[in-house]
């Protein structure tokens, strides 16, 4: 049985400045099920990052409704949104956003130390070690981010995104700062994670990487262009 993890119904986003109104997203509707691997692609400025920000509760839509695991999360307060985000969403960005002063271990442990569950240090060590194994970086646990290659840093960022066992990984241009060999390695890690059950939604410019996803969403000027494989929400 497929379980709807995330559903968007007629989501629109308008950015207003004094001189300009930008309709970044127009009537976007789709569902992502548990275990899906979805790619979002389209030209610069078409609304990919805006969509991912709304999916990740980093921003709110102007109109429309958004559900995570059947719960309406459209109109949460900032605190409620942060709570759902910490519990359900793992983020991976183009710029790895690691903290240079902290070791790989402490970077990956960070979300657990800030989680409401506050696991003890033994549990934290277990989980961090497990996630670093999943991304093939157990041997770099005591290094600092600036002692690692770009591809390794991105894999640390993946481990950090995984550590609190999110329901979905939201990934924005994960290979944008990487050479093609490191990029391929990062994509291999994401593919393996999906094979072992992790739900992934990834923004990418690279058609090769977009094709690795099971479901492809093409955006153009804030609308879903043509998506025969996308399950449109009713």
- Residues near Mg ion (CB under 5 A) are 48-49
Closest approach of Cβ 24 to Mg ion, in Å? 11
Closest to Mg ion by CB, 9 vs 48, is 48
Closest to ligand ATP by CB, 91 vs 105, is 91
Q: Which does 120 bind (CB under 5 to 8 A by kind): ligand ATP, Mg ion, none?
A: none
Alpha-carbon gap, residue 111 to 149, rounded angstroms: 23
Alpha-carbon gap, residue 165 to 22, rounded angstroms: 35
Closest to ligand ATP by CB, 42 vs 151, is 42
Closest approach of Cβ 51 to Mg ion, in Å? 9
Query: Which H or E element spans position 128?
Result: helix 121-134
E-strand stretches of the chain: 4-16, 21-33, 37-41, 63-68, 71-72, 89-92, 168-172, 199-203, 215-220, 223-224
Is 46 a binding residue for ligand ATP by CB under 6 A? The answer is: yes
Is 44 a binding residue for ligand ATP by CB under 6 A? The answer is: yes
Binding mask 119-148 for ligand ATP (x = CB under 6 A): ------------------------------
165: left (phi > 0), else alpha (psi -120 to 50), else beta? left
Is 12 a binding residue for ligand ATP by CB under 6 A? The answer is: no
Q: In the set 2, 3, 10, 15, which binds ligand ATP (CB under 6 A)?
A: 15
Structure tokens at 140: 């770099």
Maximal C-alpha separation, the chain = 55
Region 50-89 residues binding ligand ATP, contact defined as CB under 6 A: 50
Strand duo 168-172 + 21-33: pairing: unpaired
Residues within the interface to ligand ATP (CB under 6 A): 15, 17, 22, 24, 44-50
């Amino acid at each position: 049985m497929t379980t709807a993890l995330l559903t968007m119904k007629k989501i629109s986003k308008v950015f207003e400045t004094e001189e300009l109104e930008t309709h970044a997203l127009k009537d976007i509707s789709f569902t992502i099920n548990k275990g899906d691997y979805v790619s979002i692609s389209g030209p610069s400025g078409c609304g990919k990052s805006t969509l991912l920000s709304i999916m990740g509760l980093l921003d709110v839509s102007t109109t429309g409704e958004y559900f995570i695991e059947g719960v309406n999360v459209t109109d949460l307060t900032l605190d409620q949104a942060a709570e759902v985000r910490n519990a359900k969403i793992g983020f991976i960005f183009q710029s790895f956003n690691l903290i240079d002063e902290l070791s790989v271990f402490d970077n990956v442990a960070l979300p657990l130390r800030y989680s409401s569950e506050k696991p003890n240090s033994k549990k934290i060590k277990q989980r961090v070690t497990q996630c670093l194994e999943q991304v093939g970086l157990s041997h770099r646990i005591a290094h600092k981010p600036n002692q690692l290659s770009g591809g390794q840093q991105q894999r640390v960022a993946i481990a950090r995104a995984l550590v609190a066992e999110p329901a979905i990984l939201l990934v924005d241009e994960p290979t944008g700062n990487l050479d093609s060999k490191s990029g391929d390695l990062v994509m291999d890690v994401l593919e393996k994670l999906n094979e072992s059950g992790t739900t992934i939604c990834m923004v990418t410019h690279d058609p090769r990487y977009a094709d690795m996803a099971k479901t492809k969403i093409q955006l153009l000027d804030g609308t879903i262009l043509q998506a025969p494989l996308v399950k449109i929400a009713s």
